[in-house]
């Protein structure tokens, strides 16, 4: 906008307000290729490039390290090892001092950074890395958690959730089944790999452009590594090319190396690993072994459950504590357990340190719940949907979770019921049975699975956010907040909220890059919390300025507050209407402060981890999906014929963005549960380190019919921003419907009397093995 544009003083509504389908804030720049990612930034003269030298054994003592040839290679300016870290050689986000930047004397996984080369070009740095001669003395390595003993080492303190007496409940139950489920991990495969670009400044200063979901943590880690105060380090991120949790802590390493190199050489340093190294050296979704023991009655009512969730955490804690905690928090999904015990085992392994990934342990937790539903259903010869409905949380009783939070907003029953009708579940269940009667080889299956996902960081103190809003004298607005943009549309949602407050067109609001210099001490953009937290903080900042403008107008025009109203593009003051920019200019002349720092903290939440009791979640997000598959029982190959989704995002801030999150989350979840398989060999080498061997869903891998609806009645019962709900993670778990539809199709070969116990990912091989097992047993 410019101040010379004609003003429409009768305008009925602003463009880009709340609850409009506003496009992504950078859509125009993305389609023209103008959007700048870190690797696209113009490089200042003298820019150097760093590359990491990685370990070649899974567990070993470094006997000798000869980097002479590396240092002598063409273009090499510096070689960095742990001895070159000026501060602390540690980037443990948990503060446990268990994650060195460069392995000092011992390596603990294959692919662990041991040194870095800094050279004039990236190619020179990369080639020089291969000249290192390192001798290791091999130590015994634990790769697979199935081989972990009872007393195996844990990377962090485990959690127990307990309600009721599960032992007696299981003993008294008319029916009882125990078993084990294996759930695979997942590589994030953000299209833009890890990258950092550090610019040295004067004194101890350094500015780091980092592709990170957590600029404040990168700031702290870089400061820690440099031995500098946090004020010396500025971290900025305008956008990421995807994050999905993979840039919550995993960006720390690259930022620290770039910053150390920049301070050492006095020149800008950029680091970007190849995709293979990125996949080898950075953490992924945890794979789990879930042991369960469930007691139930002849009606399919669950009476007690005992769960143990063992996770492959890798060599350090990273976020494994909160990830395995969240798995336990979701061991109930939407179901009430009269008595329950759930234990986590965050296991140390000689593999890369696993980390956050969309759902953060929740998806693995829920799979345990859905597996026991399958067990109960097949044992009783009932439709799993009937068992699901029978065990849902109640509204007034049967509504306490394993962590003693009361479910006050149970919407699962309504979501399931509406989807059951709109997807025609009952009719299709009959048709599928008829089809399977006629079809000896291709078998169809259907499943309808719900999702209840807890919203809030379980570490209560992370549930805070800040924002900075400036209004300039031409009426244009500068917006900054602690949230980061990774494609999810956070920037546009927060801008919509600010535009709505001031009643100005969204074009008048400039969305600016997230930087630790403007909003400090932020939390990661994670846990689906971005809009909830930053939206509220930005609204708070806008309201402070608005209140000052109202106070000013009250005095200046001698009208009561009630007669001042922000209308589209203008402000009504008594009987007159003043253009927004004009009122702002008048306020400036009267020396009114037109800038505000906003703040928000989530109310009501508390959590006592030692007792396993509290209210860790402000509210729950709900959804359900119904998927139908057809399986070739001779090969195990399958097709998803149809998926129907009903998801609830409260009063949506932006339906188009929310539906995009649901579609993308579902397909990503489907990849996790079907084709994406991580394979480490017995030496600890990741054999699936590129998309050639690691199968990410393609455009053709989708349900042939795909219907996605938002619940039009949605409204958050808690006072969230415009009563919306978080949407980043919950839809990911809608993909459980595909796994269970496959399970249903497999079960048909044995008359639905045997639980297929299909592990994830349900690759065609696993499906075929399950079919053959059931045919043999049935």
**What is the contact surface with other proteins in residues (CB under 8 A)?**
21, 23-24, 26-37, 39-40, 188-193, 239-244, 274-276, 486-489, 656-657, 660, 663-668, 690-692, 696-700, 702, 706, 708
Angle at 268 between CA 266 and CA 271, to 5 degrees: 125
Q: How far is the CB of 355 from other proteins (least distance, A)?
A: 16
- Cβ-Cβ contacts under 8 Å for 123 (sequence gap 6 or more): none
Three-state DSSP at 189 gives: coil
Residue whose CB is less far from other proteins, 87 or 242: 242
Q: Are 108 and 59 in contact, with CB atoms under 8 Å apart? A: yes
Residue with tokens 């078998």: 443
Name the residue among 378, 384, 376 with its Cα closest to residue 337: 376
d(CA 276, CA 691): 9
- Measured from the CB of residue 265, what is the shortest distance to other proteins in angstroms? 22
> What phi and psi values does residue 766 have, to the nearest 5 degrees?
-65, -40
Query: 174 vs 163, 298, 339, 340, 393, CA distance in Å?
Result: 20, 7, 15, 17, 22
**Distance between CA 666 and CA 650 in Å, rounded?**
19
CB of 134 to other proteins, least distance (A): 24
- Tell me whether residue 142 or residue 645 sits nearer to other proteins (CB atom): 645
Neighbours of 188 (CB within 10 A): 25
Contact 666, 729 (CB under 8 A): no
Give min distance, CB of 542 to other proteins, in A. Answer: 26
DSSP 47-96: -EEEEEEE-SSSSEEEEEEE-HHHHHSTTEEEEE-GGG-SS-S---TTSS
Q: In terms of CB distance, is 272 or 570 closer to other proteins?
A: 272
Residue with tokens 């268990």: 98
Query: What are the phi and psi torsion angles at 48 (to 5°)?
Result: -110, 165
Q: Beta partners for 295? A: 176, 304
Q: Which is nearer to other proteins, 634 or 698 (CB)?
A: 698
Q: Phi-psi bin for 155: left (phi > 0), alpha (psi -120 to 50), beta?
A: alpha
| C-alpha closest to that of 351 among 403, 280, 300, 406 | 280
Indicate the residue among 238 and 263 with the shorter CB distance to other proteins. Answer: 238
- The two beta strands, 233-237 and 206-210, are parallel
CB of 696 to other proteins, least distance (A): 6
Environment class of residue 584 by beta-carbon count within 10 Å: exposed (0-12), middle (13-18) or buried (19+)?
A: buried
Q: Is 386 a catalytic residue?
A: no
Q: How far is the CB of 382 from other proteins (least distance, A)?
A: 32
Nearer to other proteins, 524 or 749 (CB): 524
Number of Cβ within 10 Å of residue 24's Cβ equals 18
Q: Pick from 354, 417, 348, 361: which is nearest to 385 by CA?
A: 417
Q: CB-wise, 33 or 140, nearer to other proteins? A: 33
Closest CB to other proteins among residues 51, 607: 51
Of 488 and 522, the one with the shorter C-beta distance to other proteins is 488
* Minimum separation from the CB atom of position 709 to other proteins (A): 13
Nearest approach in angstroms of CB 667 to other proteins is 3
| b/e code 116-145 from CB counts within 10 Å (16+ = b) | bbbbbebebbbbbbebbebebeeeebbbeb
Measured from the CB of residue 28, what is the shortest distance to other proteins in angstroms? 6
Q: Distance between CA 491 and CA 396 in Å, rounded?
A: 39
Distances in whole angstroms, Cα of residue 218 to Cα of each of 242, 252, 524: 17, 5, 10
- Catalytic residue chosen out of the listed positions 434, 729, 772, 777: 729
**Burial class of residue 699, CB neighbours in 10 A (0-12, 13-18, 19+):** exposed
What lies within 8 Å, CB to CB, of 579 at 6+ separation is 7, 9, 475, 569, 570, 571
Nearer residue to other proteins within complex by CB, 26 or 252? 26
**Phi and psi based region of residue 551 (left: phi greater than 0; alpha: psi -120 to 50; beta: remaining):** alpha
Taking the least distance from each CB to other proteins, the nearer of 37 and 599 is: 37
Closest distance between other proteins and the C-beta of residue 699, in Å? 4
- Taking the alpha carbons at both ends of the chain, their separation in whole angstroms is 71
**CA pair distance 546, 554, nearest whole angstrom:** 12
> Smallest distance from the beta carbon of 122 to other proteins, in angstroms?
9
DSSP 41: S
Angle at 597 between CA 593 and CA 601, to 5 degrees: 145
Q: How far is the CB of 656 from other proteins (least distance, A)?
A: 5
How far is residue 520's CA from residue 95's CA, in Å, rounded to a whole number? Answer: 19
Q: Which is nearer to other proteins, 517 or 660 (CB)?
A: 660
DSSP state of 369: H
User: Alpha-carbon distance 373 to 412, whole Å?
Assistant: 15
Catalytic residues: 729
């Amino acid at each position: 906008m410019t101040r010379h544009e004609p003003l429409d003083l009768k305008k009925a509504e602003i463009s880009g307000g709340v609850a409009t389908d506003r496009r992504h804030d950078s859509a125009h720049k993305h389609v023209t290729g103008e959007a700048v990612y870190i690797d696209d930034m113009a490089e200042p003269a003298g820019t150097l490039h760093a590359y990491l030298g990685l370990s070649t054994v899974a567990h070993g003592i470094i006997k000798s390290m000869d980097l002479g040839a590396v240092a002598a290679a063409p273009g090499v300016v510096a070689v960095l090892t742990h001895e070159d870290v000026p501060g602390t050689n540690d980037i443990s986000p948990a503060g446990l001092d268990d994650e060195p930047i460069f392995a000092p004397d011992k390596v603990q996984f294959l692919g662990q950074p041991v040194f870095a080369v800094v050279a004039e070009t990236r190619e020179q740095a990369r080639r020089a890395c291969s000249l290192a001669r390192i001798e290791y003395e091999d130590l015994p390595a634990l790769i697979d958690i199935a081989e972990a003993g009872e007393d195996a080492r844990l990377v962090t303190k485990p959690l127990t959730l307990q309600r009721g007496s599960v032992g007696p409940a299981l003993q008294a139950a008319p029916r009882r089944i125990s078993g084990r489920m294996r759930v695979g991990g997942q590589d994030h495969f953000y299209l833009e790999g890890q990258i950092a670009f550090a610019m040295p400044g004067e004194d101890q200063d350094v500015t780091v452009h980092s592709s990170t979901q957590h600029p404040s943590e990168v700031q702290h880690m870089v400061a820690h590594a440099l031995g500098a105060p946090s004020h010396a380090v500025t971290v900025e991120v305008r956008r990421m090319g995807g994050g999905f949790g993979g840039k919550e802590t995993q960006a720390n390493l690259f930022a620290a190396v770039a910053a150390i190199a920049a301070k050492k050489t006095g020149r800008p340093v950029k680091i970007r690993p190849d995709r293979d190294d990125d996949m080898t050296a950075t953490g992924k979704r945890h794979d789990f072994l879930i042991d369960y023991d469930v007691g139930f009655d002849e009606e399919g009512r669950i009476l007690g459950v005992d769960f143990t969730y063992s996770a492959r955490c890798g060599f350090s804690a990273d976020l494994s504590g909160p990830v395995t905690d969240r798995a336990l928090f979701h061991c109930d999904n939407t179901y009430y357990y009269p008595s329950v015990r759930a234990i986590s085992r965050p296991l140390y392994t000689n593999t890369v340190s696993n980390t956050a990934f969309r759902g953060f342990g929740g998806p693995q937790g829920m799979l345990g719940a859905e597996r026991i539903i399958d067990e109960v259903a097949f044992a009783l010869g009932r439709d799993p949907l009937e068992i699901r409905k029978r065990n849902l949380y109640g509204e007034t009783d049967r509504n306490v979770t394993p962590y003693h939070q009361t479910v006050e907003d149970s919407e699962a029953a309504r979501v399931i019921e509406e989807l059951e009708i709109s997807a025609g579940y009952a009719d299709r269940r009959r048709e599928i049975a008829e089809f399977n009667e006629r079809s000896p080889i291709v078998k169809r299956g259907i499943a309808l699975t719900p999702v209840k996902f807890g919203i809030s960081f379980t570490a209560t103190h992370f549930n805070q956010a800040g924002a900075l809003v400036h209004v300039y004298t031409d009426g244009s607005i500068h917006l900054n907040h602690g949230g980061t943009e990774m494609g999810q549309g956070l920037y546009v949602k927060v801008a919509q909220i600010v535009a709505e407050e001031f009643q100005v067109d969204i074009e008048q609001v400039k969305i600016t890059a997230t930087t630790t210099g403007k909003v400090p001490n932020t939390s990661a953009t994670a846990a689906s919390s971005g809009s909830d937290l930053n939206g509220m903080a930005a609204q708070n900042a806008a309201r402070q300025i608005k209140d000052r403008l109202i106070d000013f107008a009250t005095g200046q025009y001698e009208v009561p507050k009630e007669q001042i109203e922000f209308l589209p593009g203008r402000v009504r003051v008594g009987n007159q209407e003043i253009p927004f920019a004009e009122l702002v200019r008048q306020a400036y002349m009267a020396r009114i402060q037109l800038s505000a720092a906003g703040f928000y903290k989530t109310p009501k939440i508390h959590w006592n981890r030692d007792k396993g009791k509290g209210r860790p979640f402000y509210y729950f997000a709900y959804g359900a999906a119904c998927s139908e598959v057809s399986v070739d029982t001779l090969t195990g190959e399958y097709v998803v014929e149809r998926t129907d989704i009903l998801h609830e995002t409260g009063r949506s801030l932006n339906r188009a963005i929310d539906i995009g999150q649901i579609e993308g989350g579902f397909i990503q979840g489907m990849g996790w549960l079907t084709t994406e398989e991580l394979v480490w060999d017995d030496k600890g080498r990741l054999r699936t380190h590129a998309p050639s061997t690691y199968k990410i869903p393609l455009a053709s891998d989708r349900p042939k019919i795909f219907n996605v609806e938002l619940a039009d009645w949605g409204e958050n019962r808690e006072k969230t921003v415009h009563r919306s709900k978080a949407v980043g993670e919950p839809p990911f778990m809608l993909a459980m419907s595909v796994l269970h539809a496959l399970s249903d199709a497999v079960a048909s070969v044995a008359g639905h009397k045997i639980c297929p116990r299909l592990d994830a990912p349900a690759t065609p091989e696993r499906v075929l093995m399950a079919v053959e097992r059931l045919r043999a047993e049935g």
